[in-house]
Amino acid sequence: MTSLTSMTSLTSMTKLTVDVLEMTVAVDVLTEIVITRPASVVAAYAADPSNAPAWYTNIKSAEWQTEPPLRAGSRVAFAARFLGRQLAYTYEISEFIPGERLVMRTAQGPFPMETTYTWEAMDERSTRMTLRNRGEPAGFSKLAAPFMTAAIRRANRKDLASLRVILEKS
């Protein structure tokens, strides 16, 4: 009887482990900052992909794949380094409301991602900017999702702080 109970318990534990491994583990990181510059200035600078390497620590280059200006359907290729790995990916702009909201998505690689920027005027001199990264990792990246969430959060905080320094100097 004891060995049957142990077998049942082991089978249940194995099934639970497999179920946990097969779950979709989503990454959803929302970061915000207040920048002492008008919303129009913050939005114009942050929404320009050409400026990304200046304020995103991990982005090494940004290259337009479509003709500027930025609009829904625009595509921009980025080269980056994250968690010690070289990454190359192309974002497609899915929504752009100048001065309010930018949504871009990539479906490439083991970690498809959606990035959203929003800008909200706090007053005529200050802007709240949010940066949200959401994705559903696949394969090995699924197992690393909790670690990636923490790393993305740290990187986003640094990036928004860099953006604030750049914009508040000008």
DSSP for 8-74, please give it.
HHHHHHHHHHHHHHHS---EEEEEEEEESS-HHHHHHHHH-GGGHHHH-TTEEEEEESSPSSP-TT-
pLDDT of the residue at 6: 43
pLDDT of the residue at 111: 75
Report the 10 Å Cβ neighbour count for 104: 24
Q: Between these two residues, 94 and 1, which has the higher pLDDT value?
A: 94
Q: Which CATH number fits domain 25-169: 3.30.530.20, 3.30.390.30, 3.90.1150.150, 3.40.50.300?
A: 3.30.530.20
Q: What's the predicted TM-score (pTM) here?
A: 0.82
pLDDT of the residue at 97: 98
Least confident of 19-23, 113-117, 138-142, 166-170: 19-23
Q: Between these two residues, 82 and 13, which has the higher pLDDT value?
A: 82
Instruction: Give residue limits of the domains in the chain.
Output: 25-169
pLDDT of the residue at 9: 41
Write out the H or E segment, with its range, that includes residue 81: strand 75-82
pLDDT of the residue at 142: 63
For strand 75-82 and strand 85-97, is the pairing parallel, antiparallel, or unpaired?
Answer: antiparallel
Query: What is the tens place of the pLDDT at every residue in 67-79?
Result: 999 999 999 999 9
CA–CA gap between residue 136 and residue 51 (Å, rounded): 27
Query: What is the tens place of the pLDDT at every residue in 8-37?
Result: 443 333 333 333 444 455 899 999 999 999
Encoded tokens for 159: 């990036």
